[in-house]
Structure 1
């Protein structure tokens, strides 16, 4: 078994940038997700309110984690990206709707999405595999 396994399959949304990246990579007991935004199953960007974009992005994150045998409760690090720095207070208010305690380590960057989407996030999850899968 390779040390790095790309995560693909049913329910995993397509990338809006095409085939040049994997939605996620499992490396040992860790799962590393590429940034997820407000996209539909075909990878098309769906612009919306901050709350709706967060909901869509976190749904995509959950689908990818599930395909890797993990869930949101396994997330140990989250990097959030906001297009508009003015959205930071609303993001902090909405965040607990999508991520529960104990919260993962988090970094939040603003002003970095060039107006394409309002929100994007990438995560790292710790999800040990069964010893029979190693």
Structure 2
């Protein structure tokens, strides 16, 4: 096993806790859960509603993935956390699925939680796999 690489992405979302944006080992890239914050204005209010927040979270995941030379097509697993599961699950799914072709959706778990950092309605983390032979 190679030593892990700890990635902090320049221009990436400001961390809301002490963590790396991503950690990579042996071609596996684990992304920290992203919040619906704006990387260009991290103190701005969060977008209104789960649809806008889901889009913001997915954009932040794309920023981190791009920072390590990957994109959503490399994602093999995602975990989503919703604070208003029953209310927001359908709208979340509708928005989430727009980021992936129907035949290339990652494995996913969605969990209802009581609260998330920064008062977010949604947070998503993921695991990506670097293509064989591709450098980190």
Corresponding position of 1:69: 69
Corresponding position of 1:118: 121
CA apart distance, 1:81: 0.6
Encode CA deviations 1:37-58: one digit per residue, 9 max, x unaligned: 1112164462421111011111
TM-score (norm 2): 0.84
Cα pair distance change 1:49/1:92, threshold 3 Å: same
Return 5+ residue gaps in structure 1 as ranges. Answer: none
Equivalent residue runs for 1:21-36 within 5 Å: 21-36=19-34
Cα pair distance change 1:43/1:26, threshold 3 Å: farther
Corresponding position of 2:108: 106
Within 1, Cα distance between the matches of 2:92 and 2:115?
Answer: 15
Corresponding position of 1:81: 81
1:15 aligns with 2:15: yes
Within 2, Cα distance between the matches of 1:51 and 1:40?
Answer: 15
Corresponding position of 1:56: 56
Matched-pair contact (CA < 8 Å) for 2:9–2:21: no
Please provide the CA RMSD for this pair: 2.1
Cα pair distance change 1:119/1:69, threshold 3 Å: same
Within 1, Cα distance between the matches of 2:122 and 2:70?
Answer: 22
Within 1, Cα distance between the matches of 2:53 and 2:46?
Answer: 8
Provide runs of 4+ in structure 1 moved above 6 Å: none
